[in-house]
Amino acid sequence: MDITAKTLHGLADGLAKKEFSASEVVKAYIAKVDKDDANIKAFLKLDREKALSAAAAADERRAQGKELSPYDGLPVGIKDCIVTQGETCSCASKLLEPVVSPYDSTAVARLKAQGIIPFGRLNMDEFAMGSSCENSAFQKTANPRDLSRVPGGSSGGSAACVAADFAPAALGSDTGGSIRQPAGFCGIVGLKPTYGRVSRYGLVAFASSLDQIGPMTNDVEDAGIILDMICGKDKMDSTSLPVAAGGFAEAARNGKDLKGIKVGLPKEYFTGSGLTPEVERVMEEAKAKVKALGGELVEVSLPHTKYAVAVYYIIATAEASANLARFDGMRYGARKEGRDLVETYFKTRGEGFGAEVRRRILLGTYVLSSGYYDAYYLRAQKVRTLIRRDFEEAYKQCDVMLTPVTPAPAFKFGEKSDPLQMYLSDIFTIALNLSGNCGISIPGGVCKETGMPVGIQLLAPALEEAKLLAYANAMQR
Ligand code: GLN
């Protein structure tokens, strides 16, 4: 039996039936990493001894009937911008390479409370800025489905980790599509929860009004399982929402059809949106599936989302320029000494940050500078409100929306050398972050010629994850 091909719920069943122990599970995943990660390069770090001793402790608890949850002792990969106590947290940046976190992020602490083992540090685009993992300062992660192609980004290491069966699940973060786009590229499930559903405490901030942590898994039920563990109010993050939460795994499991459900198709995301023929075909198949499951297709409109990429690259860069100001090499990180303080700042930040991060800091500083603030930043905030209203209007006519994840499947390394071309990878994912709502990417099909996966995206109103997961599960079945 191949343990590493299982889901979290499949592994939990096996643990309950004593088909295998948590130690055997973790050993199997480590063996898989040792065999394949030299080519895939999903992990920046993996402390094998620590994972094995955590698994042994879980087995001990289970033997005494004191397991922390049915998932006690299962490994979950962690994106390198979500801190785990005692482990490095570089955000794939040279500037933070030496940093070891003195504390757990709330998401990781909540996983640990259920007995989950935080499994290594996964590669990403530096500070989560990118769509291909090519912006990592350390290594380029390959797409497990085709090693000449990118896994997507910025949570490319997390997507590759799950797709390569290095762990049954991983945590990613999504600011403009960084969970959903790599999930689509690698043929797995990726959920961006509603803004405020999951605490951002211990997530290194990129754009604070957009960032959310979420699960990347093999199936929809597993996404619900992880969300159940990590969701909920946290006093350490004032933007986390004080709403009753949980029951997401059960909601996912119960989703069997779409009877009576109105599925909106935002017209701007289909005709004339530059879909490749293969993505178009998969979308047609998805529409047929909706109807076969008893759902009704309705055309809706998101007129202002045509500005989403432009608005995002003003708001996200503005917030990033402020958030990244703290990385000056004084209290932590890699300091490059200069002759005086100012030169030390220049050298530390000039050499520590990669080209894309510097580009974003420059852009963000520019749009916030006096004289340009009103013309760019303030204006972008107004358009963000219009985009949010577009979603509110659309949800008056439908329960969920169905869209592509990306215009095309995973591209080859080096194929998108122009930053603007790269930014356009996210045209169908970015508006969701600006609206604050939730969305999920699930496998939709594969390209006939290349065999590369194509994802489909379901979107739902704020705090409707239970419905979203139920419908996604119905589609996936
Ligand atoms: N690809 C987008 C960017 O480069 C989104 C990244 C993200 O969601 N973290 O900013």
Question: Looking at residue 381, what DSSP letter applies?
Answer: H
Specify the pLDDT at position 430.
Answer: 98
Measured in angstroms, how far is the CA atom of residue 220 from the centroid of ligand 1?
Answer: 23
Collapsing DSSP to helix, strand or coil, 138 comes out as coil
Which ligand 1 atom is at minimum distance from the Cα of 178?
A: 8
For residue 154 and ligand 1, the question of a CB distance below 6 A is answered with: yes
Specify the pLDDT at position 2.
Answer: 80
What domains, with CATH codes, occur in the chain?
Answer: 3-253 (3.90.1300.10), 262-301+389-476 (no CATH), 310-375 (no CATH)
For residue 115 and ligand 1, the question of a CB distance below 6 A is answered with: no
Specify the pLDDT at position 272.
Answer: 85
Cα gap 183→153, rounded to integer Å: 9
For ligand 1, atom 5, the nearest C-alpha belongs to 176
Radius of gyration of the chain (CA): 21
Catalytic annotation present for 321: no
| Cis-peptide into 93, omega within 30 deg | no
Measured in angstroms, how far is the CA atom of residue 69 from the centroid of ligand 1?
Answer: 34
Cα gap 319→332, rounded to integer Å: 21
Question: Looking at residue 306, what DSSP letter applies?
Answer: G
Cα gap 355→358, rounded to integer Å: 5
Token pair recorded at residue 240: 């986390």
For residue 199 and ligand 1, the question of a CB distance below 6 A is answered with: no
Specify the pLDDT at position 244.
Answer: 83
Catalytic hit among 6, 41, 79, 192: 79
Give the helix ranges, DSSP H, for 17-170. Answer: 22-40, 48-63, 106-113, 156-163
| Strand ranges across the sheet with 453-460 | 43-45, 117-122, 75-79, 169-174, 212-217, 189-192, 438-446, 453-460, 400-404, 262-266, 296-300
Mean pLDDT for back-to-back runs of 10 residues, the chain (477 residues): 88 97 98 98 98 98 98 98 98 97 98 98 98 98 98 98 98 98 98 98 98 98 98 98 93 98 97 92 98 98 97 98 96 96 96 97 96 95 98 98 98 95 94 98 97 98 98 96
Helix (H) or strand (E) segment spanning residue 332: none
Measured in angstroms, how far is the CA atom of residue 155 from the centroid of ligand 1?
Answer: 9
Catalytic hit among 178, 240, 321, 425: 178
Which ligand 1 atom is at minimum distance from the Cα of 177?
A: 8
Catalytic annotation present for 208: no
Catalytic annotation present for 79: yes
Measured in angstroms, how far is the CA atom of residue 177 from the centroid of ligand 1?
Answer: 6
pTM: 0.98
Which ligand 1 atom is at minimum distance from the Cα of 175?
A: 8
| Cis-peptide into 154, omega within 30 deg | yes
Q: Which residues contact 10 (CB under 8 A, 6 or more apart)?
A: none
For residue 130 and ligand 1, the question of a CB distance below 6 A is answered with: yes
